[in-house]
Chains A and B, each alone.
Chain A
Amino acid sequence: MPTARAARSGSWPARLALLPLALTAVVAYLGSILWSLRVSFSASRTFPSDSWVGAAQYLRLFANERWLLSLQNLAVYGVLFVLACLLLGFLLALLIDRQVAGEGVLRAVFLYPYAMSFIASGAVWAWMLNPIQGVEAVGHALGWEAFRFDWIVDPDRVIYAIVIAAVWQAAGLVMALLLAGLRSVDADLWRAARIDGIPTWRIYVSIVIPQLGYSFATAAILLLTAVIKLYDAVVAMTQGGPGTASEVPAKFIMDHLYGRANIALASAASVMLLLTAIALVSPFLYARSRAAARGA
């Protein structure tokens, strides 16, 4: 590998080929980051201004209850969403893998929500979770009077309602990734383990799941990118309510960028979100470079 790589270095066609990527990364991504950084130290309102107010916007941001709540929501949502998707996706993949019949249909059923945007499906989720018209009402109609399922109107539980809908959308993708992983486990391993008389669940726990490490990591990364971007589901289902109870950072930024005409505060929030993203990406990039070094 190293010798082959060395022979390939310094090629100008490769540099030329990476020009669009370089332009995108530098102009669009780095440019936006620097622009946000600059505006976040100003007193800009609807449009950027040259004023300089130091860290005032950051102080205001971290005194803002709505922003702090949005961070808390994002953390709760992030943990529950990622874990629930991984667990449900794994179970579905496992059962589909062992079930002989109906694989094609089941796969499509679990994957289709990923093809729909919340602009389309959000309204339906809001109805189904609403206690007056949705699942709770059906429970009451069936005679189960004590039945309660009103998370979406409860300020302390609304974020769980969002998690349900988001898991519905993304669990299928995890299923697909892990199903692919399960299929790539060496058949000889299974045969050998069977001959040794090891029970099926032990084979999964000690042999198969450890081999799925990379699939789990890929799924987790894809899910994490979706966590910070959480916006559509909230807007379509609750618009951040009840009150501001289901507020999330991307919505906070959007509201302040336009509706509240305060791009300085929105930019300060953007910078904080960028730092979060860097904090999440760095260990992953570091692990990669370490793995590459070991491989070489």
Chain B
Amino acid sequence: MNRSPLAARVGMAAFLAVAAAFFLLPLYVMLVTSLKPLDELRAGALFAWPLAPTLAPWRTAWSEACTGVACEGVRAGFMNSLAIAVPSTLLAVGLGALNGYALALWRVRGANWLFGLLMVGAFVPGQVMLYPLVRALGTLGLVGSLPGIVLVHVVFSMPLMTLLFRNWYASLPTELFNAARIDGAGFWGVWTRVLLPMSAPMLGVAAIMQVTGVWNDYLLGLVFAGHDFAPMTVQLNNLINTSTGTRQYNVDMAATLLTSLVPLVVYFGSGRWFVRGITAGALKG
């Protein structure tokens, strides 16, 4: 760096500003579109600020927009998404932590093979497993039920959750483990009394990833949740991706933002925590 520090700093700031603009542009378009009345949309000025801003599209999207016979907006899906996301997150994170602990610190015959199989699963698109899982869940009578969709989410998230915690536990100093063993703690004792309390940063990261992953899922919710538990994304897709009908893009964008609200709040609210958790866990293997 032969330039003066000032020039370098201005350059860096400029680059960050341009990058920030690029990242914010889609959010900006969504926001202004959701505030425009329908006749302003026809004008086609995508990036223009609304001339007569209105909140009506938001109201419509939340509680009035129709999909088929029902006109309830995306509101109904909100509770469904919540009902799916909470147990899916608790179960998946808990199991992931347990798996990671057992894999990283205990030796079980065949565990490496199981882990390898699971890692292949991490790379495979869900579409590949969709049909066989439908049949399997069908024999258990779980298609279209809350336990069914939760089970599917746990299965699909297990590779990533296990990997995260396996790395985390492997990165902890071995002395902790050995000391606890010498004190006479068994498999469960070491985990619940010594290691789990120290896992808060990783539990945070895993929960953030899982909540947003489950909340944003469309395909699994569509196929496995059935009529009574259709998540918010399915309703969103019904609104924005209709094959026919007059498209109200302002309502679409309001519905999009409403559906993304939970993951956005989670990320904006916990960004610092997220980075810290990653620092602590994902970097050592």
A92 touching B19, Cβ below 8 Å: yes
Are the C-beta atoms of B120 and A111 separated by less than 8 Å? no
Per the bound structure, the CA–CA distance linking A235 and B65 in Å amounts to 23
The prevalent SS among residues of B at the interface is helix
User: Which of A1, A13, A138, A274 contacts B124, CB < 8 Å?
Assistant: A274
A134 in contact with B129 (CB, 8 Å)? no
Chain A residues close to B by CB (< 8 Å): 1, 4-11, 13-15, 17-18, 20-22, 24-32, 35-36, 88, 91-92, 95-96, 98-99, 104, 106-117, 119-121, 123-125, 127-128, 132-134, 137-138, 168, 172, 176-177, 179-181, 183-184, 199-201, 214-215, 218, 224-225, 228-229, 231-232, 249-250, 253-254, 257, 263, 266, 270, 273-274, 276-278, 280-281, 284-285, 288-289, 291
Nearest B-chain residue to A125, judged by Cβ: B26
List the B side residues contacting A224 at CB < 8 Å. Answer: 123
Interface centre among B101, B178, B256, B272, by most chain A C-beta atoms within 10 angstroms, is B256
With A1-B174, A9-B107 known as contacts, the answer to whether A176 contacts B278 (CB < 8 A) is: yes
| In the bound complex, CA of A24 to CA of B260 (Å) | 30
In the bound complex, residues from chain B placing their C-beta under 8 Å from that of A132 are 44
Any chain A CB within 8 A of the CB of B55? no
Tell me if B83 counts as interface (CB < 8 A to partner A): no
| Residues on the B chain within 8 Å of A177, using CB | 278, 282-283
Given the interface contacts A11-B106, A112-B264, does A91 sit within 8 Å of B15 by beta carbon?
A: yes
User: What 1/0 flags go to B116-155 for Cβ under 8 Å of A?
Assistant: 1111111111111111110110000000000000000011
Q: What is the minimal beta-carbon distance from A119 to any residue of chain B, in angstroms?
A: 5
Question: A residues within 8 A CB of B117?
Answer: 25-26, 29-30
What is the bound-complex CA distance between A74 and B143, given in angstroms? 32
Q: A21 touching B118 by the CB < 8 A rule?
A: yes
* Distance of A104 Cα from B121 Cα, bound (Å): 35
Given contacts A29-B120, A117-B216, contact A24 B155 (CB under 8 A): yes
Contacts A11-B187, A25-B121, A215-B283 given; indicate if A172 touches B132 (C-beta within 8 A).
Answer: no
**B237 interface contact, C-beta 8 A:** yes
Question: Which of A13, A29, A168 interacts with B188 by CB under 8 Å?
Answer: A13
List residues of chain B with CB under 8 Å of any chain A CB. Answer: 1, 12-13, 15-16, 19-20, 22-27, 29-30, 33, 44, 46-47, 95, 98-99, 101-103, 105-109, 111-112, 114, 116-133, 135-136, 154-155, 158, 160, 162, 174, 177-178, 181, 186-188, 212, 216-219, 233, 236-237, 240, 252-253, 256-257, 259-260, 263-264, 266-268, 271-272, 274-276, 278-279, 282-285
CB pair B263 A115 closer than 8 Å: yes
- A106, B20: Cβ atoms under 8 Å? yes
Can you give 18 A-B contacts (C-beta < 8 A)?
A: A4-B181, A8-B181, A21-B162, A25-B118, A29-B124, A35-B131, A109-B20, A112-B27, A119-B216, A120-B256, A128-B29, A184-B279, A201-B1, A253-B125, A257-B130, A273-B128, A281-B116, A289-B112
Task: State which of A36, A106, A111, A281 has its C-beta within 8 Å of the C-beta of B123.
Answer: A281
Q: Is the CB of A180 within 8 A of B278?
A: yes
B51 to chain A, nearest CB (A): 16
Contact in complex: A20, B95 (CB < 8 Å): yes
Determine if B44 and A133 form an interchain contact, defined as CB atoms under 8 angstroms apart. yes
Select A229's contact among B98, B125, B131, B177, beta carbons within 8 Å: B125
Task: Provide the main secondary structure of the chain A interface.
Answer: helix
| CB-based contact A8/B125 at 8 Å | no
CB contact under 8 A between A176 and B123, given known A11-B106, A117-B216, A120-B260: no
Q: Which residue of B has the minimal Cβ distance to A113?
A: B23
Q: Please determine whether B1 and A277 come into contact, CB atoms closer than 8 angstroms.
A: no
Complex CA distance for A229 and B98, rounded to whole angstroms: 26
A115 to chain B, nearest CB (A): 4
Across-interface contacts of B108 in A (CB, < 8 A)? 9, 11, 14-15, 18
- How far does the Cβ of A90 sit from chain B's closest Cβ, in whole Å? 12
